[in-house]
A and B are shown apart, each in its own frame.
Chain A
Amino acid sequence: MILYELKKYILKPSVFVCLIIFAVVNFVKFFELYYNFGGGRGQLADNSAGAGVIELYEKYGGTITDEKIAGLKADLDFAEKSFAENGITEEASDKFYTGYAYGDKNMISAIIKKYQSAILYENTANELSQKADDNARFFAGKNDYEQRKNELIRDTFGGRYIGQCVRSNGWETLFDFKFSAILTMLLIALMLSPIFAGERADGFDRLIISSGKRGAAIRSKLLTAGIVAFTVTLIFFILDVSYTFTVYGLSCFDAPLYAIYPNAPLNVTLLGALATAFIMRLAAMLFMAACVVLISSFCKNTGAALIISVLFGAALVVLTELLPSAFNPLELVYSSEFFSNFDTVDLFGLPCLQLFASIGFTLLLTLAAGAVTAIRGLR
């Protein structure tokens, strides 16, 4: 029956056309952001600098070693001396990675800063862990939640260590890119609006009810909605990753997440963070799918279901500004917000990472919407 549902509502030429158009729009938006805010304008005008940056990171990125440190210092000395002698030059030179002494000076200094941050992070994290431990003792007997929260911080930050220099702008852009979520929501609304409303419009709902297969039909529709949400989310997520990989380059998948976000609440690698980001987005899109299906179960025709679903999606987007993060399913799309801050919520006195609380709450809402849909059914 799932296959039947897919064939009837999902696997249609119009859906594929929309998918392709949206994929192109997604790329255009990605590129627009890169061009205006990601340094694309400068790099495309003069590609030598861009290639030089890549070369620098290939040479000095990854695991930090003494040889790399020595090499960086030597390159920086050379760039500084050249800059002191010749000042800012207008013609590119092969002697420099970026083509210019000034560019090399800045780029190498930036990498050195990353090295320093990475090397010193262990101290920073341990200090934070110590302070959290002090706080836990301070709050003992006064505030159980704060005590537990500080113990959690102590345990999370204790023993952290960064041994790599990660080129972060690609990762940050990827975790920050939200436009594909809008497209995913639109596609879900488009694909799933007719799932119940279409049956009503065609009069098949009575047939299904009288056939005695109402339950099975509803279950298959719900499962179909889940599959659609998963598939579309996966497609756009893979597209985002591929755009980022192509434009910015992604590396150091085994580096810890806190190499990019020092206050990250999770001790996972960047690959793990990628998976987490996907799960977050999937949870949000499953919620959207469940709501669209619920709306569809109330509507008598597909058009109405689609319009209401789109309006609902728009309202959800606007509400991201107004609702507290923990109670806003769509906030899960903002991966960078969750990764960069150590936020917890108070769940009956226990500190729970906001990330997990949001995912849990969203899944609860999704289940609730699904349950209501299942109960309502095709009535």
Chain B
Amino acid sequence: MVLSELKKLFIKQHVLLLIIIISIVKVITSLNMFAPDYNGLSPEQQKKYLAYIDELGGKLDESKEEKIVLLYAEYQSAAEMLKQVHDKYVAGEYATSEEYFAAMREIPEIAEDAEAIEKLYAAYEKISENESGMLLASDAPIMSVGMEYPLMLLICYISAAAFYYERKMDPLSLTSVKGRSACAGRSFSLFCAVGLACVIFFITEFCALCAEIGTDSLFASVTSLESFGRSNYPDMNILTCFCLTHLLKFIGCLLTAATGAVIMRAGKNFAAAIFTPAAIHFIWAYLFSQKDIEFYSPYSLMQGGVFFQGDAEYRTHLAIPSGQTIALAAVSIVLIAAACIYLTNSYKNRRMRIGGAAIITAAVMLLGGCSAASGGDEYANIAYDEAYGGGYYFKCQDILADAPVSDSFSNTNEDDKYIIGTKIEQYDEYGKIVCDQINRELFTNGGTIQDISVCGGYLYYLFYDGDGSKIGRISLDDYSDDVIYSGGYYPDLTAYFDLFLFYESSDGKLPKPNNFIAAESGVIFHTSNENGEALYSLDPSSGRISYLLEDIMIPAYALAGGKLYYINSDGHLTLFSDNKKTNVCDGQYKAMCAYDGKLYLAGGQGMFCYEINSGTLEKISDITEIVDLRIANDVLKYKIYGTSQWEELSLGSDAADSTPNATETSTVPAPDEEVPDSSDMSGDEPAAPGSIYDYGVIGYIDKEQKHLLMQRRLPTDGDPTMYEFAVYDTESKKIIGTLENDYDEYCYYDDYISISSLNLNGPQSETTFALYDSSLNKIKMIEGDVWTLPIYIDDKDIFIGLCPEKNDDGESVFKLARYDKDGKLIDYIKDCDTYVPVSIVSVNDKLICESQHSEYGKGEFVEVMNYDGSDYRRWQIFDSTEYHYVGQLGKYVYFLPNLIKNPKDGPGKVYFYDTEKDDLIYVDTVTEEEAGSSTATPDGKYLVTCYVEEKDRIAQQEFVRFYDIEKNELVYTYNRGKDKIEFGLAGITAYFDGVRVYSRDGNYFLKYEDLGLY
């Protein structure tokens, strides 16, 4: 029976002929299959390399190892000499070319064999630890052929044909006593056909293997082969590995054949029986992005060598565990056995309806795919302008030109050159450039690449041009470039063939990526929307995006252990999994990156390390004001607020290894230690520690003007930004109270000071302030309702402050309000929809507010009113929006600009509210610019300004001017003339006896007495 079935299948149904044809194809293609690959060596270097292999290759012994090591040491020494000569040449240290050539002649010739020796040594290092390793010449992809598609198609056909043409014999089989054995025989024939094909393939590849490495090397460790260099079976020899590879392939082929036969038998559908097994291999392999799904499928056994390579090609870069391989083989054998049983009895089965075939097909398809996506143990952080991966380093560089490529996209750099594109450079691990530009897209229209990341054999990039942002990827194999996602602005002027017209264009038809992370499981990108910020996942194969989550702000996000972590708008570390958000640990953070089972977090309290598995949080550094974190090439880098360079922190240290490089932005710098000697200086006085000169002057907090409130910013030695307030008693001439606080918002009236304690690093949802007396002793804390700028009116025991609310449209509006002594709202004084107070002072039972127009840029105003809002007056003091210091000195409330961003040529004005005249006055300054660098003397007599007259970007003259406020006239000009002042002035503070001028090249003190002002 078996023989007749074999004859029917092989001869009558031409299966033998098909096998022969496929085998011939296999032999022909195998000729080049194992062609030697010397990994890019030039022909000359190849010859040298092969010469070394002839001498030192094969099984390693002590003498050979010694020779290789000596050879390499000799080469390194020569290479070092070459480098030194080259560096000297570049530095111009050779007086003549003869000297240079003479030096070159002294370098040993071995330096010329760089490539050959590097390759030899790299091959040696790979197998040096393995006793059974052999040094083989070629990098040919031996035993890693993978899926044999012609064989697979052949099997699909013959398995379907084997039972299709027998369907008419079923009634005969049913009545025959040998029906079962006929079916069994047919099944066996089918498996014999598959076996024959597999044997032919085995023999072909074995011959090619022996031709390549020789029969002597068959028992060398499989790690001797380049493609198995990372094998997780280092003790296995090449022959065993080869046999096992083909055994797995054979099992996979049998399973494919069994599948086709079962479907054919069950559904009686020839096309489905051919199509379904083929589809499993083709479609599942190429359409689904979860590459590791294949290795959970029994059908992936047909790939053979990948189960032993230890580096599953370019997909997971992980070894497939042996247990998994055995399990897949076992499952396959069980399935084959089940199929055999079914086929043996299948002559009895009536024709199944289409539904049955469909169910079987669907079940088989699912089995072919198998398992949920594994996420993998991957770590991925936000892409930057450099990336590491696959043993290479990649860097983005701008391409510059004198003219833009298009009008819509014409960015310039600091040298006013137009950035017309970006190139991505590729370097090897030694820093040698491998490729000058791997991105080769021609039609970029001047767009630039913003960020890059390497993952899974691809370099992903974020490309930005006038149309929006695109995410693309470049294969590191063949540098082919695909755009996998386009997001951005698409004016919805028309839709669907002009059928629907939208007269107003709408933004963001597709979310526009701002940044992204690339991981094995796909790409996650960040975008902005009307609700704040959102994260989407992107399938690189299909380009489909899925919404993940959104929040008001998402300062940072990363993948760790296959899960998505992000910092939410409250600054909390949150895990997003199964569509749920879970707070992971305490603390509030601003930046994060993931690496090696840990999350590195930076916040107001320092830098922390969160261990994902154990859930422990550990402080690793006291550095604060970190705004960005990243891991690059095993080095943790961080960026401090206000700086542009990255600092490094070696992981595992308890304290920071480098000091922060924060830019000092305090308006009250620490007392200087040296004072320059200038011929024009009238004298200077170094500030004594703890004295009034340590602080900047704010104003008097009482009507009698005995208590002067001052403030300074504390030096940031690893602490968060802190301010120190002090009250100076003008009678005792002493500081009578100090207070450290983390925020500098304050109000004062009638010997009471309210100071906010707003945590800048936390959510902006709560205000806490404390009420202090004139000695800065705390009286009480007020918490709860959201409001700011609180002034305590002692005789009424109420607070007056600014209260933000949401109107019907959800927009923020402000109102001046009265609160009781516990901070509970009493009533509203005034709506502040248009003019929003930013500073409030109270004088003579009046509120004097310095306010900004609700539309930014529309001006600054002074508002004066009674406590109930009556007797309201308003003046405009500035055309645009600037920040002003407000306080009372003498009889004036001053409104001094912090900085005037775009000063006009010509005179300026500084405004004061005269508390005696109950009116606004001003002082004309010589220039508008100096108004932005001014102060007033504590008695309110003089306005003091400092100004640098620049020429050709080099400061020429430094002026300090004194204006009589009441008379509105310039009374004194101090000219610190110097030929060259490089950095100009940083600020000015007026004290009782003189003025301290903060100059970048040295501070100095001007006494009023010396200037004849008092």
Contacts and interface: CB of A to CB of B under 8 A. Distances in A.
Contact of B501 (A36, A138, A143): A36
Contact of B498 (A128, A142, A179, A320): A179
A282 B1008 CA distance: 92
A37 interface: yes
Contact of B499 (A131, A177, A182): A182
B478 A32 contact: no
Contacts of B503: 36
Interface in A160-178: 177-178
B442 A153 contact: yes
B286 interface: no
Interface in A306-322: 317-318, 320
A142 B478 contact: yes
Interface string A174-215: 000111011000000000000000000000000000000000
A327 interface: no
A2 B389 CA distance: 66
A132 B440 CA distance: 9
Nearest to A342: B443
Contacts of B481: 146
B440 A177 contact: no
Nearest to B40: A141
Contacts of A150: 440, 442
B440 A179 contact: no
Contacts of B480: 143, 145-146
Contacts of A33: 494, 498, 501
B496 interface: yes
B496 A135 contact: no
Interface string B499-516: 101010000000000000
A139 B440 contact: yes
A317 B478 contact: no
Contacts of A301: none
A25 B96 CA distance: 85
Nearest to A139: B479
A124 B481 CA distance: 23
A32 B498 CA distance: 10
A131 B442 contact: yes
A333 interface: yes
Nearest to B497: A178
Nearest to A314: B496
A146 B497 contact: no
A251 interface: no
Contacts of A138: 440, 479
Interface residues of B, number: 15
A341 interface: yes
B499 A132 contact: no
B493 interface: yes
A41 to B, nearest CB: 12
Contacts of A263: 443
B444 to A, nearest CB: 11
B497 A179 contact: yes
Contacts of A342: 442-443
Interface string A26-48: 00010011001100000000000
Contact of B478 (A131, A143, A341): A143
Interface in B460-507: 478-481, 493-494, 496-499, 501, 503
Given A143-B480, A146-B478, A146-B479, A341 B496 contact: no
B498 A146 contact: no
Interface in B412-465: 440, 442-443
Nearest to A131: B442
B498 A177 contact: yes
A153 B440 CA distance: 13
Contacts of B498: 29, 33, 177-179, 182
A179 B499 contact: yes
Nearest to B493: A37
Given A32-B501, A36-B501, A146-B480, A318 B496 contact: yes
A135 B440 contact: yes
A181 B478 CA distance: 41
A37 B501 CA distance: 11
Interface in A136-155: 138-139, 142-143, 145-146, 150, 153
Contact of B496 (A37, A143, A317): A317
A132 B478 contact: no
B479 A142 contact: yes
Residue among B497, B499, B501, B503 with the most chain A CB within 10 A? B497
A336 to B, nearest CB: 12
A122 B497 CA distance: 34
B493 A128 contact: no
A146 B479 CA distance: 9
A139 B501 CA distance: 45
Nearest to A185: B497
A178 B496 CA distance: 9
A161 to B, nearest CB: 19
A36 B491 CA distance: 14
Interface in B497-545: 497-499, 501, 503
Interface string B97-139: 0000000000000000000000000000000000000000000
A320 B501 CA distance: 17
A327 B234 CA distance: 48
A181 B501 contact: no
Interface of B: 440, 442-443, 478-481, 493-494, 496-499, 501, 503
Interface of A: 29, 32-33, 36-37, 128, 131-132, 135, 138-139, 142-143, 145-146, 150, 153, 177-179, 181-182, 263, 317-318, 320, 333, 341-342
22 contacts: A33-B494, A33-B501, A128-B442, A131-B442, A132-B442, A138-B440, A139-B478, A142-B478, A143-B478, A143-B479, A145-B480, A146-B440, A146-B479, A150-B440, A150-B442, A179-B498, A179-B499, A317-B496, A317-B499, A318-B496, A341-B443, A342-B443
Given A139-B479, A182-B498, 12 more contacts: A29-B498, A33-B494, A36-B501, A37-B493, A143-B479, A146-B479, A177-B498, A178-B494, A178-B498, A179-B497, A179-B498, A333-B497
For the complex of A and B, list the 7 residue pairs with the smallest distance between their C-beta atoms, beginning with the closest: A143-B478, A179-B498, A178-B497, A135-B440, A182-B497, A142-B478, A143-B480
